[in-house]
A and B are shown apart, each in its own frame.
Chain A
Amino acid sequence: MKATTMNAVNVASNPQLEQGRSLWYDAYLRIKKDKVAVISFFTICFYLVLTLLSSLGVIFDNYGVVDNSLTYLPPSWDHWFGTDLFGRDVLARAVHGTKTSLVVGFAGTGIAMAIGTVLGACSGYFGGKVDDLIVWFYTTIDTIPYILLVVAFSFVLGPSLLTLCLAIGLTAWVRHCRIVRAEYIKHRDLDYVQGAAALGASHARRIFLHILPNVFHLVLINFSLGFVGAVKSEVILSFLGLGVEPGTPSWGVMINDAKQELFRGVWWNLAAATLFMFFLVLAFNLFTDALRDALDPKLKNK
C-alpha cells in the first residue's frame, strides 16, 4: 500500500469538499452579486478616502480659514454650501466633520466591541458566578437610558474627541455583549471545543482561538450596526454642546448652529451636515444588512 499519499488523494478527489468555500469567501461572493451592497461599500470607501485626503491637507484645507467679511454667504460656485458665521466654507467643514464622525465611529465602536466581546465570551464560556456577575453588570448599565449615560460620561470627562470615543465605547457594548454571550453558551459544549479541551488547550486558548473565529462574523455585523449608532451619538452630543472641543468641525455642531440660523434663512449649514450624515448612515445601514445576510449560514443556499 502506498499509504503516504492515500489520504490526500482521497480528499482532493472528493467532489463535495472541492466545492467547499470558507464562510468569508462565500460571503464575499454573495455581496458581490448584491448591487446595493457594492454601491454602499464604495460610498463608505469614498468617505474614507475623503477623510484621508482632507486629514492630509490635500483637499479642503481651508476649513479653518476665518474671514469675517464673508459671513453667511449663500451657496455659490466658490462655496458650494455657502459660508458660516465666521465666513468659513461650509462644504470644507462638512468634509472635515466626516473625519470626526469616522474617528468616533471606528474608535468608539472598536472599544465597545472589545469590551462586549471579552465580557460576553467570558460570561458565556464560564457560566456560573462569572456569568451572574457580568449579566448583573450589563443589565445595570442597560437600565440607564443610553443617551443619558453618554451625556453623563462626557460631562465628567470634559469635551474632546477622546472623550467622545470613550463615552460611546464604554456605553455601547451591552447589546453586543449579550449576543456574544449567547453564542458562547451554544459553542462551549460543542464537539470541537471539547476536542480542544481534550488536547489540553487552556481556557483562554479555547475562548479566543477556537470559539472566537466561529462567532467573529457577529462582531463584524455588530460593529457596523454600532458604527451607525456611534456616528449618530457623536452628532447628538455635539449638538448638545458635549461633543468635540468648540472649533473642531463636526456635523452636530453645524446642526446646532443651524438651529438658530434657520430663521435668518441660513439653511446650508443644516443641509450640508444632514446630507453628509444621511449618505454615510444610509450606506452603512444597507451594507450591514447585506453583510448580515451574507454571513448568515441559514441563507446560504438561497
Chain B
Amino acid sequence: MYSSWRIFFHASIISAICLIFAGCTNSCSQKVSDTDSTLNVVLSANVKGLDPIYANDTYSNAVISNISETLLEYHYLKRPLELQPLLAESMPEVSDNGLTHTFKIKKGVKFHNNEAFENGIGRELKAQDFVYSWKRLADPRLQADGFWVFDGKIKGLNEWRDKVSAGEADYDTPIEGIEATDDYTLVIKLSKPYYQLHYVLAMGFTSPVAKEVVDKHGKEYLNHPVGTGPYKFANWVRNNKIELVKNENWHGQTYPTEGATGDEEAGLLADAGKTLPFNDKITFHEVTEAQPRWLNFMKGNYEYMGIPKDNFDSAIAEGDLTPEMKSKGVQLFKTPEPDVTYVAFNMKDPILGKNENLRKAIALAYDTKTSIEKFYNGQALPAQSPIPPSIDAYDPNFENPFKKFDVSKAKEFLEKAGFPEGKGAPVIEYSALTSSTARQMAEFFKQNMAAIGLQVKIDSVSWPQLQKKIKEAQAQMWGIAWLADYPDAENFLQLLYGPNKTPGPNGANFANSKFDELYKKAAILPPGPERTQLYQEMRDIFVNEMPWVPGVHRLGYYLRHGWIKNFKMHSIINNHFKYLRVDAKKRAELKAKL
C-alpha cells in the first residue's frame, strides 16, 4: 500500500555544488537531428526495477507503463478521470450483486519478441497470463509491493497465499476468484463488493507478464521486462538512463477523438484518430539533483519537466511564465494534484495520542499560509482534511476549525491540554528527512511551535529510516504526503482505518470505532451520494480528533518546450507517453536557439 508514499520533495542527500556545472557536458555541442523523434523524459529519482509487482513508485511506474499494459486504462483527455478498456476488449460485465466481473481479453495481442519464447517470437496474450501474473502478485515468497490491491478482496486468493506459505499449493493450484474460462475470458469473483477493483486494474501492479520470461530470468526479471506495450525495453545504464524502442507488433490504438472542455482549443485534438505511438524511442534520464535537471531542460535536452522550487521565480511570475521563458518557446501546464501533505501524530504515543487538545493546539499554531509562500511558491491549496480536490467528497467550502492559524486559540487549547504557556510540556520529536527542503519545513514547524511555547526536537532521518520508524510505531510526529492511486476518497481514508494500523498504511495508528464502521459501510457501496455522505462523516470524525495536521494540496507545474505536442498531465495517469508527439523538425529548429 505504499504506492504513493512520496516525500515532500525528492530526498537525495548526496549532492555537490559542482553538479551545477554538469549541465552542459552531454549534448550542448551535438547537432540536433531533425528526423530523430526520441522522447526525452527526466525522472527525479532512480528507478528501482522494472518488475510490475514491485513498481510502487512513480518513477519505475513511468517506465513500466510503456512496456506492460493493464486491462483498463484512464482516458487520456477526459476529466474527471474515466476508465476505458486497454487489454480488455470492452468494459467488463458485472453481475447484479457486483461480485463477478467478466472480462473479454482483446485478441491478437502479442508479447514483445524475446528469446524466452519459442523461436524468439512473442506469443499471444491469453487470459491465463493474468491468472499467472496475479498469482505472482500474491505469491508470499516474492513479497510484492502491490499485493494490497487484491488483499482480502478476491475469493480464494488469500487462502492460496497462505497455502503457498505452508508449501501446500503452487501456481497450478486453481483459485476460485481468478479463472480463465477460455483463452480470452477472464472471470474475477470477489469475496465482497470492491468498487475500486476497476481502478486497480488500471494500475501497473496488475499488468500481465509472460511465464516463460519470468522462468528464464527469475529474480533478474526486473532487469529484463517483457510486456505487450507500445514500447520495448532496449537498454538500461543503471542510475543514468533507460532506453525504450517502439514495438512494431503492438496491437494498436488511436489518439482519442474527444476530450474535456477546452482540449480542442488547446490543440489537444489535432492528432485525433492518428495511430499511436508517435515516437520511435523514449529515453528516460535518471537525474536526482534539481539543478542539472533544470539546466538540461533549459538546453532542450528534455521535452518537459516539473519546476524545482528554487527555479520557480526564474520561470513563473504571478502564476504565469516569465517573458524570458516565453521568448524561448517554453509553455506552462498547471494541474491540481490529487494529493495531501500532512504532519502525522503517532496515536500510540503516550503524550500526543492521548491528548486531543494538544494535537489541536499544534494544528492551530501551524501557519499554513506562510508555509505555502515559502515552500510551494505560494501555489498550493491549504488542506482542510485528507480529501483532495477533484475527488468525490471534497467540498471546497468546507473549513476545518483547527486549520485556521490562530496563536491565541492555540494557546487556549494548550492550556486545556494541561500545559499553560507550554509549561510542563515534554519536548516533542519531529522526524524529518535530511534534504534541504524537508529540513527547512521542519525548522519552520519548530518555529511555529516555539511561538506557543512548545518545544520541538527535529530528528533528521533518511527516507528508509523514516519508513522504518513509522512502520514500527517509533516516530512521534513526522511530515509526509500521499498521492492518490485512483480517484476515490477511499484511497485517502484508508490511511486512517483502524485495521490498517502499522505496519500497514495507517502510520498514525488512528483507531476510532465509529470511523472504522463507516469505512466498512462505505467500502461496499457503489459510487454515489450515499457513499459521499459517509466519506464526509468520516472527514468530520477526523476533524474532531485531528490525528494529522493536514498541510496542503499541491499544484503541479510543468514546463514544456514548444516541440512537444498533445501534452496533458494527471498524476494518476502514468501511461501518457504513447500520446506525446515530438515534432522533430521544430525541435531541431528551436533547440538550436537555446
Contacts and interface: CB of A to CB of B under 8 A. Distances in A.
Nearest to B9: A260
A261 interface: yes
Given A71-B374, A257-B440, A261-B310, 18 more contacts: A66-B447, A68-B370, A68-B374, A86-B443, A86-B447, A155-B462, A159-B459, A241-B434, A241-B436, A246-B446, A246-B460, A253-B439, A260-B290, A260-B308, A260-B437, A263-B311, A264-B310, A264-B313
Contact of B434 (A240, A260, A263): A240
Contacts of B370: 68
B310 to A, nearest CB: 4
Contacts of A253: 439
A241 B460 contact: yes
A71 B370 CA distance: 11
Interface string A262-288: 111000000000000000000000000
Interface string A125-166: 000000000000000000000000000000100110000000
B20 interface: yes
Interface string B10-46: 0001110100100000000000000000000000000
Contact of B314 (A155, A247, A257, A263): A263
A17 B20 CA distance: 64
Contact of B20 (A158, A159, A262): A262
Interface string B550-594: 000000000000000000000000000000000000000000000
A245 interface: yes
Nearest to B441: A246
B294 interface: yes
Nearest to B458: A246
A158 B432 CA distance: 12
A203 interface: no
Instruction: Report the 6 A-B pairs with minimum CB-CB distance, sorted nearest first.
Output: A241-B434, A260-B310, A246-B458, A246-B439, A159-B460, A263-B310
Contacts of B434: 240-242
Contacts of A262: 20, 310
B291 interface: yes
23 contacts: A68-B370, A85-B374, A85-B440, A86-B443, A155-B462, A159-B459, A240-B13, A241-B13, A241-B435, A245-B458, A245-B460, A246-B439, A246-B443, A246-B458, A256-B439, A257-B436, A259-B15, A260-B308, A260-B310, A263-B294, A263-B310, A264-B313, A264-B314
Interface string B162-176: 000000000000000
Interface of A: 66, 68, 71, 85-86, 155, 158-159, 240-242, 245-247, 253, 255-257, 259-264
Contact of B457 (A66, A242, A245): A245
Given A85-B374, A256-B436, A263 B291 contact: yes
B16 to A, nearest CB: 9
B544 to A, nearest CB: 31
Contacts, number: 67
Interface residues on B, range: 35 or more
Nearest to B456: A247
B442 interface: yes
B78 interface: no
A69 B370 CA distance: 9
Nearest to B448: A66
B23 to A, nearest CB: 12
A86 B444 contact: yes
B443 A260 contact: no
B367 to A, nearest CB: 8
B459 to A, nearest CB: 7
A155 B314 CA distance: 36
Contact of B436 (A155, A242, A259, A264): A259
Contacts of B437: 260
A241 B436 CA distance: 8
Contacts of A159: 459-460
A247 B458 CA distance: 8
B447 A246 contact: no
Interface string B348-363: 0000000000000000
B309 interface: yes
Contact of A246 (B311, B442, B462): B442
Interface string B395-438: 00000000000000000000000000000000000001111110
A158 B314 CA distance: 37
A255 B436 CA distance: 10
Contacts of B309: 260
A255 B13 CA distance: 13
